[in-house]
Amino acid sequence: MARTIHNLFCRARVIILVAEVLTGCLLTAGCANGHRQAEVATANQPAGPKAGSRAIQITVLYDNYTLSERCRTGWGFSCIITGTEKCILFDTGANADLLLENMDKLQVRAQDVNLVVISHDHPDHTVGLYSFLGRHSNALVYLPSTASAKLVQGVESRGAKIQMPDNALQICEGVHLTDSTFKGNVEQSLVLDTTEGLVVVTGCAHPGIVEIVKKAKQTLNKDVYLVLGGFHLLGLSDSQIQRIIQQLRDLGVRKVGPSHCTGERPIELFKQEYREDFVPIGVGRIGIPGKLWPATMH
């Protein structure tokens, strides 16, 4: 495992350099202060029961790519979800200084966070957690059930409360964690139950992006509108990647936002296949159309 992570970081240095060169090509949105924001879609609200009224926004704080010239990239992933009943920080990146710097540039306040979700216990998703809790420890932290004693102690020593769920769990109105247990892997993903369909946010997707989408669908028995985050497809052949894209199509995934550890070539193939339904992901704000279904609808 340590060797795998080491290899990932070695590859990451190369990819980050490439990403920084490509950043200019990927710029489709700005960050805070009135800059343009990425819009996933402008689909109409579906007819039906009255849905929740708050606009949902995902702000990526840490990623291998950026949508904003003002923000820096790094190997890892972190985002914050606002407009939900509770403000949720999902993963925390590999470098605490970079996480806090991007939070400040995007005008995200640590004090606003109610819940923290760590997808899995890899340093590119956990290292920023300690510095974040140094700023703000009054949050409930959902760790993966296999979190190391070091990670648990690191969180507890900063005064935050911990939960380590195995099963699918609703963590606030319209927001769920998937069942985290897969063959040989433990990783939890976030699922937003919106009027457009499910929005699934992944960390690295080590159990397989297809398996995670299946779990998300099983959790809520609804179709998937958007999957975003790390898809972990590095090193696969084009035909293997095409098969995965087809499986996601067969599962009814309408839009995709592959980023972080997905890999340059897989991202390119997703872009070719999904076209206008490909959502560029990077550090910056991503608007999610639709609203969360209120709890009374379940």
Radius of gyration for the chain, computed over Cα atoms and rounded to the nearest angstrom: 18
- Provide, rounded to whole angstroms, the least separation between the CB of residue 161 and Zn ion: 24
Using alpha carbons, list the distances in angstroms from residue 226 to 22, 190, 258, 277. Answer: 24, 12, 10, 9
Tell which one of 61, 64, 118, 122 touches Zn ion (CB under 5 A). Answer: 122
Counting Cα atoms < 13 Å in the Cβ hemisphere of 52 gives: 25
- Provide, rounded to whole angstroms, the least separation between the CB of residue 81 and Zn ion: 18
- Using rule CB under 5 A, residue 15 touches Zn ion: no
Q: Given the complex with Zn ion, which of 144 and 289 has the nearer CB atom?
A: 144
- Using rule CB under 5 A, residue 124 touches Zn ion: yes
- Using rule CB under 5 A, residue 204 touches Zn ion: yes
Q: Given the complex with Zn ion, which of 32 and 186 has the nearer CB atom?
A: 186
- Provide, rounded to whole angstroms, the least separation between the CB of residue 282 and Zn ion: 15
Q: Residue 267 in contact with residue 258, Cβ under 8 Å?
A: yes
SS3 133: helix
* Dihedral Cα 49, 46, 298, 207, nearest 10 deg: -170
- Binders in 243-282 for Zn ion, by CB under 5 A: 261
Q: Residue type at 23?
A: T
- Provide, rounded to whole angstroms, the least separation between the CB of residue 223 and Zn ion: 27
Q: Given the complex with Zn ion, which of 10 and 43 has the nearer CB atom?
A: 10
How far apart are alpha carbons 145 and 259 in whole angstroms? 25
- Provide, rounded to whole angstroms, the least separation between the CB of residue 251 and Zn ion: 22
Q: Given the complex with Zn ion, which of 24 and 184 has the nearer CB atom?
A: 184
Using alpha carbons, list the distances in angstroms from residue 115 to 16, 245, 273. Answer: 29, 32, 35
Residues that bind Zn ion (CB under 5 A): 122, 124, 204, 261
